[in-house]
Structure 1
Amino acid sequence: MAATTETGTETETGTETEAGSGLYEIPLLRAGRSARSAEQAVLCGVDGTPLARVHLAPPLLARLTVAQARTGPESTPDARVLGRAGELFATATLNGLAPEEYCELQARVAGVPVTVARHSLQDVAKTFAGVGGRVLAERPAGLGATPAPGEINAVWARRGEVLAVIAPSNNPGTHTQWLTALACGYRLVVRPGTRDPFTPARMIAALLEAGVAPHYLSLLPGSHATGDALVEAADLSLVFGGDAAEQRYGHDRRVVLRGPGRSKLLHTGPVTEQALDVICDSVGYDAGMRCTNATAVFTEGDPAVLAEALAERLARLTAAPPQSAAAQVPVLPLAEAHALRAHLDARLEGAVDVAAGRYPDGPVADLGDGSAGLRPAVLLCDRSDHPGARIELSFPCVWVLPWRRAEGFGPLRDTLALTVLGDEPELALAALRERSIRKVLLGPLPTYSAGDVSPHDGYLSHELMEARGFGTAPLGPPPPF
C-alpha cells in the first residue's frame, strides 16, 4: 500500500467511490462516525491497479478514539440485533457495495480467491446468528445474572471496557472472532489488515445498520505505530500475527495473541484415497491461508510415497486471477510472489519439493498482468525434527515428515489443530494430553473442522471475562440481633 499524504481536515464523510478518481474510499470510523484524514494511502490490487483510497489514523487519533469509545451508556447488543447484522452482511448493499462487489474488491486486493469471499458471506452471517448462543455456552456453569436481593453469587464480568483488535488480511472469516467480544459488551476499535479493510468495514456497517450503539464500533486503518497506540490505550487487545507479533506484544498480559496455527495431521494407516482427500483438503481449503490449514503431515509409513501422492493431487490446484471463479491459490504481485518462494527455498535444509517438477513454468505462476499465483509446495523431509514443521506460509505449503510412536508428541507440539488419521482413540486422547495441541480431531476430518461452540484457540470469552462475587442485602429491615 503506497501512502500519499494529502491536505485536508477530519470531516464527516461516507464510504463510496471518490468523485473523478475511480477509487473506492474507506474513511476512518470513530465511535460510529465516519471521518476523513489528512493522511491517506492508495490500495492497489495484486495486479497493480489502484482500487481504493484508505484514510489512515495517526497514533494520537487512535488514543483519542479509544477515549471517545469509553463515553456513552452501556448498550450491549442482544442476539436479535447481531443476527440481523449477519443477514445484512450477507445480502445488503453496505458502504456502497453490493455483496458481489464487496467479494470482488476484497479478492482483487487481498489476492484471496473470490470463491473464499463468496462463501464467507454465509459463514459470517451464520456466526453472527450464533454468537449469542456461543457466549452462553462458553460461560462457566454456576455463573449467572445479577443475584436477587439477599443472595451472594458468582457473576460473569468483563475485565475491561474497550478491546483493540489488530486484524489480519488472510481470510474474511478471521474477523468473526471479535464478534464474541462485542456480544460480551466490549467497545471495539479495529485496526484492519493492510490488504483487507473491506471485510471489517462491511461488518461494522452491518452492525450499525442493525442497531448497535455507534460508540461500540470504530475502524482505524493505520501503521504499526497506530496499532501500538491502540494496544497501549485499550483495556485489552486481540492481536493477530506471526512470530513478529508475538515478539512485539507477547510480554503484555493485556494482549490476547492469535498467532500462526502450525496445524498438522498424524497419518498412521495406509495411504488411502480417503486419507489423501482429507490431507489435501486440510492443506488447500480456502487457498491454504487459514491458520487451521495443515502445514505439516507426520506419517508412520513411507513419507516419500505419501509426499508423491499429495503432490500429484495438490499440483492440480488452479492459478488464476483472484476475481476468477477458477482461482484456487493465493495471488500476489509478481515480485512479492517470487520473494516468498525464494524465502521458502532458502529454508529447505535438505527437504525436497516433490511438487515443483510438476510445474513446467515453475512454482510461481506468472499471470501476465503483474501478478502471480503461488502453486502448492510439498516438501519431503528425512527426519521428524526438521524445522520445516514450524514454518507456516500464506499459500498451500505442506511438509511431510516421518514419525515413530517412540517419539511421542514432541515433534507435534505447538499445534492449533491436529487431525489423527486412523481409528485409534487412545492416540487421539494422548494427543489431547499435550497441552500445546489446542484441538484434536480423530478420523477423516480436515484440520479446519469445527463445531458451533468448539474452541478455536481456547474460548476468547475466557480471556475477556472473569468470575467475580456479587451480592446484595435482603429487602426490608435488617434482622434483629
Structure 2
Amino acid sequence: MLSLDVLGPGGPYRSRRQETIHGLSGEAAATLSLAPSLYVTRAIKAMRRASELPVDTRLDAIARAGRAFATGTVAGQTAQEYQHTVSVSTGIPISVVRSATDDIAQAAERIHLNVANARPAGAVSSWRDPRAKDGAAAWTRRGTVFAVHAAGNHPAVHQGWLDALALGYHVVVRPSRREPFTPYRLVTALREAGFGDERVVLLPTDHSVADDILRHADYGMVYGGADVVGKYAGDPRILPQGPGRSKVLITAETAWEPLVDTLVESISGGGGVGCINATGVLVEGDPAPVAAAIAERLAALPSLPPTDERAVLPVMPVEPARRWDVYLRQRTVGAKAWLGGDGIADELGDGSAALRPAVHQLDSPFDERLGMELGFPCAWVAPWDREAGIRPLRDSLVLTAATTDEDLIDSLVAEPSIANVYIGDHPTPWMAHGLPHDGYLAEFLMRTKTIRR
C-alpha cells in the first residue's frame, strides 16, 4: 500500500493524521497524510523566503519534470504502475489515464508557449530588456505564492497550474483526496528536476484546513461545483473553476448526419468525465433524430473494468453508482429517455459498476438541465431557434457551433460567458498547447508596469 506524505518545504512529512484511500472494490490503496493548520502556515511562510529561479531554469526544469513524470520512476513508481494505481483507485479507464499522462508531459515540454502567448505583444519579460531603456511595459507577477485546490475527476487538470510555476510563482497544491496520485507524482518530479522542496509543495488537508491555504497564499485557483463558484466569486484573489457546461449547437443549414462522430466524441471522449465534455446539444429543427443517432452510438460502448484496454466508461463502487442512478432518474422527470432510462449503473461483479451513458430529449432550450454536468457521458438534447438567441448557450466553457451564420458566430465570440468557440466540425474536448483553456492563467496572475532604465 502506498504512503503519500505531505511534501513540504522541509521535505516529506508523515503526519499523525492520515486518511486511507480505497480502490473500487473497497481494498485499501494508499494512506494520505493530512497537513495540520499550523504546518500549512509555516510551510507557506517558508515558501515566501525562497529565491526565484531564472526563467530559463524554470522552463527547462518543468520540461524535464514532464518527461520524468510520463516515462520515469518517480516516488518509487514506474509510469505504468502510477497509471494502474490511478485507474483502479478512481475508475478512470486506463487508456484515458495514459493519454492524460502524455498530455501533462507535452504541456510541460511546451510550457514556454503559454508564457509567450499570454504576455501582451508590447510587453517585455524583464527590466533588463534593451527596450526598457526608453520605457517599456514589463510583464510582472502580482504576488509570490499561488495555491491550487485541485480537482480529482481527471489527471490532466494538473496541466493548469504549471503555468504559475513557469511565471515564477511558488505553488502550493492541495490535492483531491479522491485522486492525489497525479499531483504527488508531478510535484515530486518537479522538485527532483530543480525546483527544490521550497518552491512547489503538496499540502493534503481536510476541509477544515483547506481555506487556510487560500488565506495565506497571494492568489488561488479552486475547482468545484456551483457551490464552490458561489463561495469564492466575490474574492478577487481566487479564480474559481466550476462546471464546464460545454455545448454543441447545430443550425438548420448544417447537415447533422456527418457530425455524429463529433457529437459522440464531445459527449464521451476521455470517459465523459471532463468539463470540456458536452452536456447540451441544441438543434435548430427536430432534435429527435439527432438524439436517436447519439443514443444508438453511445449504447454500443462496452461496460468493462477500468484497467481493460478497451474500457471507455468510468467505473465506481456499486453503492455510489446506484446513488447516481437514483439521482438521474429524479432529474429526468418529464424528459424523453433515448438512453439510460432503465438505469446507468452496470454492475461488473467485483463490487464496482460502470456508469453507462444517458441521452435525454428536452422540450425547451431554456431547460436548466442542459447545463447539468455529471461524472459520466450524459447529454441533454433540445430544440433551438433564432428567437431563443444565444441565451441558452451562455455559461459554456466550450461551444461547438456547427453553423455558417457569421452574425451568429460574431455574437457567440463576443459573449463573455462563453470561454471557447469552435466553429464547425470540431469536438468540444479538442485542446492545443499554447492556447487558453479558460483564458490564460497569466491573465489572472500577472500585470504590466512601466519600466524605464
Decide whether aligned partners of structure 1 residues 356 and 112 sit closer, same or farther in structure 2, where only a CA change above 3 A counts: same
Match in the other structure for 1:59: 37
Match in the other structure for 1:475: none
**For 2:365, what is the secondary structure of its paired residue?**
coil
Q: C-alpha separation between the residues in 1 aligned to 2:121 and 2:256?
A: 43
Match in the other structure for 1:429: 410
Please identify, of 379-388 and 206-215, the stretch whose mean Cα deviation from structure 2 is larger.
206-215
**For 2:418, what is the secondary structure of its paired residue?**
coil
Q: Where in structure 2 are the equivalents of 1:395-414 lying within 5 Å? A: 395-414=376-395
Match in the other structure for 2:203: 220
Q: C-alpha separation between the residues in 1 aligned to 2:226 and 2:10?
A: 33
Residues 425 and 442 of structure 1 are in contact (CA less than 8 Å); yes or no, is this contact kept in structure 2? no
Cα distance per residue 1:53-81 (max 9 Å; x no partner): 11111222222211121122121543222
Establish whether residue 163 from structure 1 lines up as the match of residue 146 from structure 2: yes
Alpha-carbon distance, 1:338 to partner: 1.1
Residues 78 and 132 of structure 1 are in contact (CA less than 8 Å); yes or no, is this contact kept in structure 2? no
Match in the other structure for 1:71: 49
Q: Where in structure 2 are the equivalents of 1:12-411 lying within 5 Å? A: 23-31=1-9, 33-76=11-54, 77-144=57-124, 145-147=126-128, 148=130, 150-269=133-252, 272-356=256-340, 362-411=343-392
Q: C-alpha separation between the residues in 1 aligned to 2:229 and 2:387?
A: 32
TM-score (normalised: structure 1): 0.90
Alpha-carbon distance, 1:421 to partner: 1.6
Cα distance per residue 1:284-324 (max 9 Å; x no partner): 00111111100000001211111111111111122222122
Alpha-carbon distance, 1:132 to partner: 1.5
Residues 106 and 198 of structure 1 are in contact (CA less than 8 Å); yes or no, is this contact kept in structure 2? yes
Residues 165 and 237 of structure 1 are in contact (CA less than 8 Å); yes or no, is this contact kept in structure 2? yes
Residues 32 and 218 of structure 1 are in contact (CA less than 8 Å); yes or no, is this contact kept in structure 2? no
Structure 2: state its 5+ residue gaps. none
- Determine which structure has more spread, i.e. the larger CA radius of gyration: 1
Residues 237 and 254 of structure 1 are in contact (CA less than 8 Å); yes or no, is this contact kept in structure 2? yes
Cα distance per residue 1:363-400 (max 9 Å; x no partner): 21011111111100101101111110121111100100
Decide whether aligned partners of structure 1 residues 129 and 333 sit closer, same or farther in structure 2, where only a CA change above 3 A counts: same
Residues 256 and 290 of structure 2 are in contact (CA less than 8 Å); yes or no, is this contact kept in structure 1? no
Q: C-alpha separation between the residues in 1 aligned to 2:279 and 2:10?
A: 39
One of 385, 394, 398 as aligned partner of 1:417: 398
Indicate the percent of aligned positions where both proteins have the same amino acid.
Answer: 38
Q: C-alpha separation between the residues in 2 aligned to 1:69 and 1:238?
A: 18
TM-score (normalised: structure 2): 0.95
**For 2:240, what is the secondary structure of its paired residue?**
strand
**For 1:416, what is the secondary structure of its paired residue?**
strand
The one-letter code sitting in structure 2 at the alignment partner of 1:456 is H
Decide whether aligned partners of structure 1 residues 442 and 150 sit closer, same or farther in structure 2, where only a CA change above 3 A counts: closer
One of 413, 435, 445 as aligned partner of 1:454: 435
Residues 168 and 241 of structure 1 are in contact (CA less than 8 Å); yes or no, is this contact kept in structure 2? yes
Cα distance per residue 1:176-205 (max 9 Å; x no partner): 000000000111110001111111111112
Q: C-alpha separation between the residues in 2 aligned to 1:375 and 1:150?
A: 62
Residues 244 and 397 of structure 2 are in contact (CA less than 8 Å); yes or no, is this contact kept in structure 1? yes
Alpha-carbon distance, 1:271 to partner: 5.2
Residues 250 and 256 of structure 2 are in contact (CA less than 8 Å); yes or no, is this contact kept in structure 1? no
Residues 226 and 243 of structure 2 are in contact (CA less than 8 Å); yes or no, is this contact kept in structure 1? yes
Q: C-alpha separation between the residues in 1 aligned to 2:336 and 2:37?
A: 45
The one-letter code sitting in structure 2 at the alignment partner of 1:181 is A
The one-letter code sitting in structure 1 at the alignment partner of 2:432 is G
Structure 1: state its 5+ residue gaps. 1-22, 473-481
RMSD (Å), alpha carbons: 1.6
Alpha-carbon distance, 1:220 to partner: 1.2
The one-letter code sitting in structure 1 at the alignment partner of 2:123 is L
The one-letter code sitting in structure 2 at the alignment partner of 1:372 is A
Matched residue count: 447
**For 2:40, what is the secondary structure of its paired residue?**
helix
Residues 46 and 109 of structure 1 are in contact (CA less than 8 Å); yes or no, is this contact kept in structure 2? yes
Alpha-carbon distance, 1:50 to partner: 0.8
